[in-house]
Amino acid sequence: MLKFSPLQLIGLLAVMLSCFTVSITVAYNIGAIVSGYGASPAQAGLVATAQGLATAVAAVLASRFAGNVGSRWFFLAGLGVLVIGNGFSALAPNVQQLTAYQALGGFGTGLVLSTVMSTAARTANPEMTYGIINASMGGYIVALGFLVPRVILAGGVEQLFLVYAAIAAAGFIAAFAAPNSKAPEDAAACAQHAGEGGDQADKTRRQAKLVAFIALTGFGVFFFAQAGLGAFVERIGVGSGVPLTAVGYVFALGGVLTIIGPLIAGWIGARFGATLPLIVVTAALGCVVFALAVIASPTTFYTATPLYTVLPAMLMPSFLGALAVVDPSGKAAGLQPAFATLGGALGPAASGVIVQQNGYGALGWYAIAVFVTGAALMAAATIAADRKRKGATATASANALHEGIAAPAAPTIAVPPSAGR
């Protein structure tokens, strides 16, 4: 297990934020691309799709080779590619070249994100580490909610991507403060199964990988819906009569909630398991999506949008903590950005087609169905992790009981036969 100094934790958080700016401002980017290039919603969604697909590919590669080099190498390489991609995006003469440059930047994002998530999974309390990561993301969303609309109004899409490039460049400083570690090999991660024979240990590893794959697939499906609808939240608000600057304030409010929500969720997940938060968040999201996209009024936009921002963030600590229990090596958690961004990459393009053909109401019903499907698959990891934790607790209690029975300090206590079982 890794232990971070405060400076290392701050460095890790700053690296993550500096590479994630484009990904968490998709709703603004879609609108800016539509206005700046005269692009259709489907074309603008394709830009986000290309960026997300490249992020997914890079995350898989980073997870695969995480044990070969230190994390700092991935941080510096990823941030360098991201600066180049966003810098060229500011100069792109058309939406086709912009798509290519954003794909390049997305590759850099994937290298950094995967390494951050894998590193966090190997800490002593991954739920709280992920809670801190997502809480810091909430604060960042607040800041971007004030900054990005003003950048778009002042300089359009060109100035927007210049700002993104500058933020990524600032991450180089944080990379030297962040921890520089390597992911352990799978065998080392399974050292906790030392009491098992070789065949049983291999079987345990295979089962853990299968459970992680099913859950990560569900995570990708979940974010397919989240990113698909999220990419058009700004359009839904503006279409219902909400001014663009007011949209920024609403997103900022969601960011404020996201500062607190993940910390609470991390605390709950560490104590009450990961399955209950999954059920509650999915049910709440269904209600929020109905209000936001199906009803689609200014009132529902103001009330539902902040909740739409915070609920997925509240789910992250408990789910990623469950992945860390299922796969202590951190490699499954390192793959999380690949599945999330793959789903997130395909989501905006699919949603753009639905909006063009059937409108925002149809998009809302579609998102609800996809959320439920994704959550059902994610439950593979949360249920497995909850069972594993209960088993570990029962084993620890039994060991403590046996030690108490054998202790010479209390030789006169009569212990019933059932207590030693």
Question: Can you give the CATH number for the domain in which 136 is found?
Answer: 1.20.1250.20
Would 211 be classed as within a structural domain?
yes
Query: Looking at the domain assignment, is residue 69 inside a domain?
Result: yes
Q: Which amino acid is at 303?
A: T
Instruction: Determine the pLDDT at residue 270.
Output: 67
- Which pLDDT belongs to residue 321? 84
Residue 34 lies in a domain: yes
Per-residue model confidence as pLDDT tens digits over 30-47:
888 988 898 887 788 788
What three-state secondary structure class fits 66?
A: coil
Residue-wise pLDDT for 88-114, tens only, equals: 999 999 999 999 999 999 999 999 988
pLDDT of residue 314: 83
How far apart CA 111 and CA 57 sit, in angstroms, is 9
**121 and 330 in contact (C-beta within 8 Å)?**
yes
**pLDDT score for 185:** 52
Q: 421 lies in a domain?
A: no
- Ranges under pLDDT 50 in the chain: 186-196, 407-421
In a domain, 60, yes or no: yes
| 42 is a domain residue | yes
pTM: 0.70
Work out the widest C-alpha separation in the chain, in whole angstroms. Answer: 87
Kindly give, in sequence order, each residue whose CB lies less than 8 Å from that of residue 110, ignoring residues fewer than 6 positions away: 54, 55, 56, 57, 58, 59, 60, 61, 62, 78, 337, 338, 341
Domain count, the chain: 1
CB burial class (10 A; 0-12, 13-18, 19+) of residue 293?
Answer: buried
pLDDT at 66: 66
Q: Which residue range is the domain that position 124 belongs to?
A: 7-179+197-394
Is residue 408 a part of any domain in this protein? no
pLDDT at 411: 43
The pLDDT score that the predictor gives to residue 377 is 95
In a domain, 419, yes or no: no
Query: Taking Cα atoms as reference points, which of 348, 382, 281 lies closest to residue 29?
Result: 348
